[in-house]
Structure 1
Amino acid sequence: MRSVLVRASVAVVALGSLAACGDGPAETKPTGHGDKPPTHTSAPAPSLRLDVPAAYDTARGWQLSGKQLGTYAVLPKAGAIATMTGAGSAYLVTVRDAVTGRVRWTGKPFADLSEGATPGLFVVPAGDAEYLVTWSRGKKGGDALAKAKQVYAVDVYAADGSGDAVAPARHAEVPATDYGTGNVTEAGERLLIPVTDKRRVALDVVTGRTTTYDTDSLKAPGCSSCSYGNDIAALTDRDPVVLNEGAGAFGIPGSWDDDRIAPAGADPATGAVWPAAGGHLVARWEQKNEGDQNVWAVLDGRTGRVQASVLCAKPFVASADAPGSALSPNGRYLVSEHLAFDLGAKKGYCFEETDGTKPLSFRSVTDDGIAYGTSLTKDGSLTGSTAPVRLALATGTPKALPEGQQAPVADFGGAGVFTHDVGNVSYLVVYRRKG
């Protein structure tokens, strides 16, 4: 499992958190250095003919590499792919049509406050729209007398922009501290900015409105004794989803709690929850009566309603990291690492490691319910080696792909997105779907 979100991208990226993210999750790659950001031109046709599933045509598509690539994120609803490239402390975003690679628009160059670290990039879905977000944290202002202030600088772009040097639709600067602060994340339908250990700021990407939450004043619903240890696990467009990890309690205060919505067989005193792609939540409980399985579920973030659930073997090595996730563009299928869900049929599938099966992890899922991912062979270590796999959610039966074949990290708008490294050069390759 990996930390969200971002994915989250996942959503994104995403990313990306390709959260997903939102999720599906964004991917970070090194960029070049110089006096100006690199010039963006139309993406060239793919010179790399990777071994990919038969649904994709390697003769049609486009690719980016090296300085043209930088960091990327996918925008499934817009049918586009965004890249963030830079040199020194100047960065800009470029949004290309996913099928043709044609540049739709470029953003106005912006400064990175992070003193050499690459700014964050991810996609946030809100209703029927998507927003591209960049952020960095560092010092701003200051002179011979006044100290510079530590801030989060966040830019929000509408996905459907056009032209060159497009300014962000929203720009926000939120005070930060020199210690105890983390990354800006997509925590559902708003951005979550961890100003301090006790104070969180939620930023609405549509309106630019900010809401400050003091975690000391929050309480996980359904837990009258939860006075300490409460935190925001996710955000809807209006409310925070509050989690008390120690008590295994979560929900939206005044609306719903996990005791009331927990699936049959779940021990409601053991709940945990994370944001998932498309405004969903992924929740987990231990099985009742100290059973040897966990209960996993996808929830509607606003209502807490269980959309699909599945029993799953407890992992040999548990992880405290948040699971990443990806949603099919049509919203019917959701994958979250070792889990796969058909939300339309209200079915869930688990591919956690057992005594007789290898663990599977899924990264992308198509509108026709085909999920792609990898299996893990540990070979006596915790890391081991991976092999590509394919899952048809109509049957729930995974199949191994031919050895060496590459699975897409995203599929939308009639194209599949693949990543590849040649030496020290990273490539993003997009192949059109056949037919």
Structure 2
Amino acid sequence: MRSVLAKASVAVIAIGSLAACGGGSGTAKTAGGDKKPSAHASAPAPLRKLAVPAGYDTSRGWQLSRKQLGSYVVLPKSGAVATVTSEGSSDGAAYRVTVRDAVTGRVRWTGKPFKNLSEGEAPHVFVATAAGKEYLVTWSQGVKGEDTLSKAKNAYALDIYAADGSGDAVAPAHHVGLPATEFDTEVTDGGERVLVPVADKRRVAVDVATGRTTTYDTASVEPPACPACTDDIGNDIAALTEHDPVVANKGAGAFGIPGSWNDDRIAPADVDPATGEVWPGTGGHLLARWSQKNFGNHHVWAVLDSRTGQVQASVLCAKPPAPTADAPHSALSPNGRYLVSEHLAFDLKSRKGYCFEETDDSKPLSFVSVTDDGTAYGTSLTNGNTLTQTTAPVQLSLATGTPKALPGGSEVPIADFDGVGVFAHDEGNVPYLVVYRHKS
């Protein structure tokens, strides 16, 4: 069963997790370092002519690899691609954020070098959105505060950058340091604020626009409205809106914003209301799932408005052969109309949903990106299981709900926005990020 706290980098497209679908981790370790990039520098033209869908021009674009690449994410609203790369310093490795224009590859700005709390490990990075504006968040976990008299303490360090920075050594808009009692959880985009699990029953929400923090104690937070949720057992913070937490009680299968809405009020008619689960989506959405009522062999998946709980689209979906443990990743088209999440695809305007989970007759499909015209890209699991799998590229038209296979050897974009497609490519264990423009 998926954990309410686990989440791949989601509010907007977090390429570090998506690249795993294309053969790369998206968080490639880099040794040594390049010189500080000039504010006028451009990335090299794309030397690699990948086999890609017909709408992309492989003669126009740019690419990064090796020391230029590091960890990377895309910023669709800002029309940019950000990388976090390592560079040498007198007292050890330091890291720097570089933000490039998605169309030209030209450097827009670079960040001030910073140290990671965990030596030998690259910082994590994702994109969060607040009030329609994108922010770049880097975070690490480790120990700090040790001296002759004091022991080191576990801690998180978050640096938050506005996406529209300028200059060659931009300082973060906000630096947030938080204590930590355990390191088996991650900092995640909670939907409209950053969610930091600092202790077993304590969660901290970080407002990326202001840097302000709000602490929630799950032992005392008001539970979602349900008869089995009269005490705090099993309550957790599943997602965050601008002002309120979305509280989930996994044992009771209930979730909602206390005092505002709950899943019993908004659940589709054909679900078992005691089986609800919810995760943060992207662009102000939540992803919810229930089991079919009367012990049916299907799930009901839905996209919800995070503030009102309103169902924006739903679909009946075959239960997978084996339960999955990770939270679903979602990607939104730049115009906000289409949303894909692994085996699911939704048209939020027409309120239609499509499911491509494995059945007796069909192979499972998993989608990683979707364009403004409703074309979703992903892969089909052709052989093996999720650990030893062979995949093939596919695309889906959300106008018809009909998928089709792409030519063998094709690579699919992990993001599409601002007139370009972004491709994660691995060649000889060397990761590349290749950006092609749309054909005229």
After TM superposition, is the score higher than 0.5? yes
State how far apart, in whole Å, the 2-side matches of 1:381 and 1:16 are: 18
Q: Which residue of 2 aligns with 1:22?
A: none
Out of 118, 132, 137, the position equivalent to 1:133 is 137
Residue aligning to 2:278? 273
Query: How far has the Cα of 1:18 moved from its partner?
Result: 5.8
Is it true that 1:229 corresponds to 2:229 in the alignment? no
Flag the 1:142–1:83 CA change in 2: closer, same or farther, 3 A: same
Out of 144, 151, 160, which is 2:148 matched to? Answer: 144
Q: Does the CA contact (< 8 Å) of 2:192 and 2:241 recur in 1? A: yes
1:114 and 2:122 matched = no
CA shift for structure 1 position 220: 3.0
Cα distance change, pair 93–70 in 1 and its aligned pair in 2 (3 A): same
Separation in structure 2 between the aligned mates of residue 242 and residue 330 of structure 1, nearest angstrom: 29
Aligned to 1:217: 220
The answer to which of 314-323 and 59-68 deviates more is 314-323
Contact 1:5 1:324 in 2 (8 A): no
Residue deviations 1:152-183, cap 9 Å, x none? Answer: 11100000011110000111111112x35521
1:422, distance to aligned residue in structure 2 (A): 1.2
Give deviations 1:382-402, integer Å, cap 9, x for gaps: 532100000000000000000
C-alpha separation between the residues in 1 aligned to 2:135 and 2:386?
40
What residue is the counterpart of 1:154 in the other structure? 158
Q: Does 1:183 align with 2:177?
A: no
- Identity among equivalent positions (%) equals 70
The 2-side partners of 1:176 and 1:215 are apart by 16
Output one character per residue of 1:328-378: Cα deviation in whole Å (capped at 9) or x when no partner. 011100000000000011000000000000000000000110000000023
Match of 2:64 in 1: 64
Q: 2:254 aligns with which of 243, 249, 253?
A: 249
Residue identity matched to 1:61: G
The alpha carbon displacement at 1:287 in A equals 0.5
Q: Deviations over 1:291-343 (max 9, x none)?
A: 11110000000110000000001111111211111000111000000000000
Distance (whole Å) between structure 1 residues aligned to residue 308 and residue 151 of structure 2: 46
Q: Which residue of 107, 115, 128 corresponds with 1:103?
A: 107
Residues 166-205 of structure 1 aligned to structure 2 (within 5 Å): 166-177=170-181, 179=182, 181-205=184-208
One-letter amino acid of the structure 1 residue matched with residue 31 of structure 2: G
Q: Using a 3 Å threshold, how does the CA distance of structure 1 residues 151 and 180 change in structure 2: closer, same or farther?
A: closer
Distance, in Å, in 2 between the alignment partners of 1:71 and 1:2 is 26
> What pairs with 1:226-375 in structure 2 (closer than 5 Å)?
226=229, 227=231, 228-375=233-380
CA distance in 2, matches of 1:100, 1:434: 15
CA separation of 1:267 and 1:347: change in aligned 2, threshold 3 A: same
1:393 equivalent to 2:417? Answer no
User: Residue type of the partner of 2:29?
Assistant: P
Q: Residue 43 of structure 1 aligns with which residue?
A: 43
Q: Which amino acid aligns with 2:148?
A: A
Question: Cα RMSD over matched residues?
Answer: 2.0
Contact 1:203/1:211, CA 8 A, preserved across alignment: yes
Residue 85 of structure 2 corresponds to 85
Amino acid at match of 1:68: Q
1:74 paired with 2:82, answer no
Q: Given residue 27 of structure 1, which amino acid in structure 2 is its aligned partner?
A: G
Answer whether contact 2:302 2:311 (CA < 8 A) is retained. Answer: yes
Deviation at 1:3, TM superposition (A): 8.2
Q: Secondary structure at the residue paired with 1:164?
A: strand
TM value normalised by structure 1: 0.94
TM-superposed deviation, 1:114: 1.1
The aligned residue for residue 428 of structure 1 is 433
Identify if the C-alpha distance between structure 1 residues 74 and 176 changes in structure 2 by more than 3 Å, giving closer, same or farther: same
- Residue pair 1:95, 1:103 contacting (<8 A) in 2 also: yes
In 2 relative to 1, CA 6–105 (structure 1 residues): closer, same or farther, beyond 3 Å? farther
Query: Does the 8 A contact of 2:224 with 2:249 survive in 1?
Result: no
Check 1:4–1:421 CA distance in 2 against 1; reply closer, same or farther (3 A cut).
farther
Q: Contact 1:18–1:410 (CA<8 Å) still a contact in 2?
A: no
Distance of aligned partners of 1:77 and 1:131 in 2 relative to their CA distance in 1, 3 Å threshold: same
Taking the TM superposition and a 5 Å limit, the aligned residue runs for 1:378-417 are 378-379=383-384, 383-417=388-422
Do 2:11 and 2:284's aligned partners in 1 also have CA atoms closer than 8 Å?
no
Quick one: structure 1 residues 393 and 79, their matched pair in 2 at CA, closer, same or farther if it must change by over 3 Å? same
User: Which deviates the most, 248-257 or 87-96?
Assistant: 87-96
Contact preservation (8 Å) 1:6, 1:16: no
Q: Which amino acid aligns with 2:309?
A: G
Gaps (5+ residues) in structure 1?
20-24
**Normalised TM-score (structure 2):** 0.93
Distance 1:45 1:417 in 2: 14
CA offset at residue 115 of structure 1?
A: 1.9
Q: Decide whether aligned partners of structure 1 residues 405 and 252 sit closer, same or farther in structure 2, where only a CA change above 3 A counts.
A: same
1:6 shift after superposition: 7.6
Give CA deviations for 1:42-95 in whole Å, capped at 9, x if unaligned.
200000000001100000000000010000000000000000000453101000
Q: What code does the residue aligned with 1:32 have?
A: A
| Aligned 8 A contact 2:335 2:372 in 1 | yes
* C-alpha distance after superposition, 1:120-170 (max 9, x if no partner): 100001122100000111122332222333221110000001111000011
Contact kept? 1:255, 1:303, Cα under 8 Å: yes
Match of 2:31 in 1: 32
What is the deviation of 1:236?
A: 0.5
